């Protein structure tokens, strides 16, 4: 394992090298100081240029030695944006540290932008603007204040895991930042579209605050403080503003594809360019394939039935999956035009289907009759409002509400849901 610091030998890179050396010393890992040069720059007087650059690298090594890290250097002759990524892989790097490039978007003396380097690297990229907050943090003077861009994505999860690793170097003060679009959230949660966004914002933020706090929870023992921002326009600008207002030392985001809660898709490369504080971009890694993914916590389940005998057979299986202390929402869906009498009758019928013997496991059951002509959409939106970690459906059944829960409805749920869906097929009798 090692740490790599890419340098263009400017003052900005020197500060980054100091941070990299301090982290390497803390972890007991070697530090590689790498300068990448484009072959075109060696067409004239190649050997003198090489020797001059090597001399500058040796001078940097001597400057960093008092910080306690074992430092080595390498002159990388390549114009490829993948050159640093290949170097990091070859040296089993856990972190790539860079400074603020002298001429953005060109970076590190190679004409390769930081955004391209970040896209190609399989390790976290830390861009340092000022070494002082990191020196105070690693010196034990104060915690490092970190704004963590959170959404429901693999990138956000990768960044959360990296923060747990970073916390081993010193105490962190974690801030969870999330930027949301009101109309998008109204669709996701099944809320009516308002004439005035201020009217619906409190309802949205009540759900989001709980959701983001759970998504941002780390193994550091410190609960992150949630910061929400209703936005219009580019999410990156608003997240950077949140970090600036909170006086964060470091903004951390994951790289990932866009999804409903994942409106941070473009933040990674914008954060590297726009953030006035240090910024870290954490790539998605195949953690599950390596057995490194954490076990998910299932605290809330949504269990759906159309009240038919075949669909009801899945209910005991769903409750059997509920861990001790969890909450199960048992629901059915009726059309918008359903009256109060039918509503009461359906709730009583749901109550009759709750399995016996749950008290010892402290499983809380909540019954709910959902309204909606589109059954699948009603279930997906309810799972979002409840922040359900698992949505359970029976495999088939045609019941009192004249709608099958597998067939067209379950296929739609599987296609639309951003949360795990479990389709339970009862055993053949």
Instruction: Label the pairing between strands 71-77 and 300-304.
Output: unpaired
- At residue 379, does pLDDT exceed 90? yes
- Predicted structure pTM score: 0.80
pLDDT digits (tens, 9 = 90+) for 157-167: 888 889 988 99
Same fold, 143-290 and 300-424: yes
**pLDDT number for residue 149:** 92
The answer to whether the bond into 8 is cis (omega within 30° of 0) is: no
DSSP summary character for residue 303: E
Residue 109's pLDDT is what? Answer: 44
Q: Which of 63, 73, 1, 50 is nearest to 30 (CA)?
A: 1
pLDDT(246) > 70? yes
CATH of domain 300-424: 3.40.50.620
Q: Find tokens 């006086």 and name the residue.
A: 247
Q: What pLDDT is recorded for position 269?
A: 75
pLDDT at 102: 59
Q: Which pLDDT tens digit goes with each residue over 100-121?
A: 865 554 444 444 577 778 778 8
Q: What is the pLDDT of residues 257-315, one digit of tens each?
A: 444 444 444 677 777 888 899 999 998 877 666 676 777 788 899 999 988 888 888 88
Asked if 427 and 316 touch (Cβ cutoff 8 Å), the reply is no
Q: Going by C-beta distance under 8 Å and a sequence separation of 6 or more, which residues neighbour residue 95?
A: 3, 4, 20, 23, 123, 124, 126
Say yes or no to pLDDT of 122 above 80.
Answer: yes
Tell me the CATH number for domain 143-290: 3.40.50.620
Name the CATH topology of 2-126: Rossmann fold (3.40.50)
Give exposure, 386-405, as e/b (b: 16+ Cβ within 10 Å).
bbbbbbbbbbbbebebebbb
Sketch the domain layout of the chain as residue ranges: 2-126, 143-290, 300-424
- Write the CB contacts of 344 (distance below 8 Å, at least 6 apart in sequence): none
Task: Give the E-state strand segments of 203-256 in sequence order.
Answer: 225-230, 250-254
pLDDT of residue 262: 44
């Amino acid at each position: 394992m090692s740490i790599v610091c890419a340098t263009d030998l400017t003052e900005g890179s020197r500060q980054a090298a100091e941070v990299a050396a301090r982290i390497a010393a803390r972890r007991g890992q070697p530090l590689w100081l790498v300068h990448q040069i484009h072959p075109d720059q060696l067409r004239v007087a190649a050997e003198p240029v090489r020797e001059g650059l090597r001399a500058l690298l040796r001078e940097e090594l001597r400057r960093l030695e008092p910080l306690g890290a074992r430092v080595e250097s390498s002159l990388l002759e390549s114009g490829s944006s993948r050159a640093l990524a290949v170097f990091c892989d070859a040296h089993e790097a856990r972190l790539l540290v860079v400074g603020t490039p002298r001429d953005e978007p060109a970076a590190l003396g190679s004409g390769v932008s930081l955004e391209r380097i970040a896209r190609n690297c399989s390790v976290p990229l830390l861009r340092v603007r000022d070494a002082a907050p990191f020196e105070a943090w690693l010196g034990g003077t104060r915690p490092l204040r970190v704004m963590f861009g959170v959404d429901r994505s693999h990138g956000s999860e990768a960044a959360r895991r990296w923060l747990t690793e970073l916390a081993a170097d010193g105490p962190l003060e974690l801030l969870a930042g999330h930027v949301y679009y009101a109309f998008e959230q109204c669709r996701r949660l099944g809320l009516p579209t308002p004439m005035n966004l201020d009217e619906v914002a409190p309802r949205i933020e009540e759900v989001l605050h709980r959701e983001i706090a759970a998504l941002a929870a780390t193994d550091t023992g410190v609960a992150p403080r949630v910061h929400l921002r209703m936005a219009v326009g580019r999410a990156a600008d608003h997240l950077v503003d949140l970090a600036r207002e909170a006086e964060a030392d470091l903004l951390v985001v994951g790289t990932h594809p866009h999804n409903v809660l994942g409106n941070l898709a473009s933040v990674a490369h914008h954060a590297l360019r726009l953030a006035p504080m240090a910024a870290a971009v954490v790539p998605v890694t195949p953690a599950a394939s390596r057995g490194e993914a954490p076990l998910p916590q299932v605290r809330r389940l949504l269990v759906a039935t159309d009240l038919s005998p075949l669909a009801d057979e899945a209910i005991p299986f769903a409750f059997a999956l509920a861990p001790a202390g969890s909450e199960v929402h048992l629901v059915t869906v009726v059309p918008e035009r359903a009256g109060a009498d039918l509503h009461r009758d359906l709730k009583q019928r749901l109550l009759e289907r709750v399995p016996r013997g749950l008290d010892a496991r402290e499983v809380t059951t909540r019954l709910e009759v959902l309204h909606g002509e589109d059954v699948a959409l009603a279930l997906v939106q309810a799972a979002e409002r409840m922040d359900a970690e698992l949505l359970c459906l029976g495999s088939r059944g045609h019941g009192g509400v004249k709608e099958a829960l597998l067939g067209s409805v379950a296929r739609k749920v599987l296609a639309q849901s951003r949360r795990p869906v479990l389709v339970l097929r009862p055993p053949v009798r």
